[in-house]
Structure 1
Amino acid sequence: MTLLERIPVNPLQCGGRPCIRGMRIRVSDVLDLLGSGVDVNEILRDYPDLEREDIYAALIWAAWYVDHPRLSV
């Protein structure tokens, strides 16, 4: 499984927002925690179903998303 495969988008789950490995932990939740200065190890303690690779996947997904080209009309 590649890191980005850990981030499925299911329109029937969490309002179609990207989640970690199909769990109800959204990429935005992980990013908000990291952005607030929460340490990766603390996130992993608070969310025992998460794996370190899930956090890396969330960061890679966010980097891909903000760099995704969009055509202006």
Structure 2
Amino acid sequence: MTLTPELMNRITQNPGQCGGRPCIRGMRIRVTDILEMLAENVNISEILEDFPDLELADIQACLVFAARRTAFPRLTA
């Protein structure tokens, strides 16, 4: 998946906000909050209703952020 700079810029980290944890567009909505809701089978439309400042691209950015954090290259001998 090609990640556009606009999508990448949706995830922000500020040491003075939410303990430096990754958030969405400088808001106090943490990436982990969105990922946990998705893991608990909360529908994307329900998340967007509960957080009216969020956009679909924010949720997509959270998923890509998580995928990149777990994409470790593995060396084989």
Q: Which runs of 4+ in 1 moved over 3 A?
A: none
Residues 13 and 68 of structure 1: CA distance in aligned 2, closer, same or farther (over 3 Å): farther
Q: How many residues align?
A: 69
Q: Give the equivalent residue in structure 2 for 1:27.
A: 31
Q: 1:55 aligns with which of 55, 59, 62?
A: 59
Q: Distance in 2 between matches of 1:68 and 1:2?
A: 24
Q: Name structure 2 gaps, 5 residues minimum.
A: none
5+ residue gaps, structure 1, are none
Aligned pair partner of 2:19 in 15, 22, 25: 15
| RMSD over aligned Cα atoms | 1.1
2:55, 2:31 → 1: CA distance?
A: 13
Cα displacement (A) at 1:68:
4.7
Structure showing greater radius of gyration is 2
The aligned counterpart of 2:47 is: 43
Distance 1:21 1:65 in 2: 18
Say if 1:5 and 1:68 are closer, same or farther in 2 by CA, change over 3 A. farther
Identity %: 57
Q: TM-score, normalised by structure 2?
A: 0.84
